Amino acid sequence: MTAFDGYPMTQQGQAGKALGIGVLSSAIGGLVGTIALIIFTPMLATMALRFSSPSILPLPCLA
């Protein structure tokens, strides 16, 4: 979305504001993702420990 919003803002002389909005939204997205990963890590770890040898083979194939 930054390209859609940033380019018209740059043409209007608001390049600094467009960069600020892009940096702020990126930082907020990074923080939300990090917090979600911290919250869901225990659940993902218990799921990962349930895998046995036969079920590990399809895992890289599906990834």
In three-state secondary structure terms, 13 is coil
Task: Specify if 44 maps to a domain.
Answer: yes
**What's the first-to-final CA gap in the chain, in angstroms?**
27
Task: Specify if 35 maps to a domain.
Answer: yes
Task: Specify if 7 maps to a domain.
Answer: yes
Task: Specify if 56 maps to a domain.
Answer: no
The tokens for 2 are 């930054």
Residue range 9-21, pLDDT digits in tens: 889 999 899 899 8
Domain range for 26: 2-50
Q: What is the structure's pLDDT at 63? A: 77
Task: Specify if 40 maps to a domain.
Answer: yes
Task: Specify if 16 maps to a domain.
Answer: yes
Is the pTM of the predicted complex or chain greater than 0.85? no
Q: What is the structure's pLDDT at 29? A: 95
Task: Specify if 62 maps to a domain.
Answer: no
Give the number of domains in the chain. Answer: 1
Q: How many CB atoms lie within 10 A of CB 33?
A: 10
Determine contact, residues 59/51, Cβ cutoff 8 Å: yes
DSSP 31: H
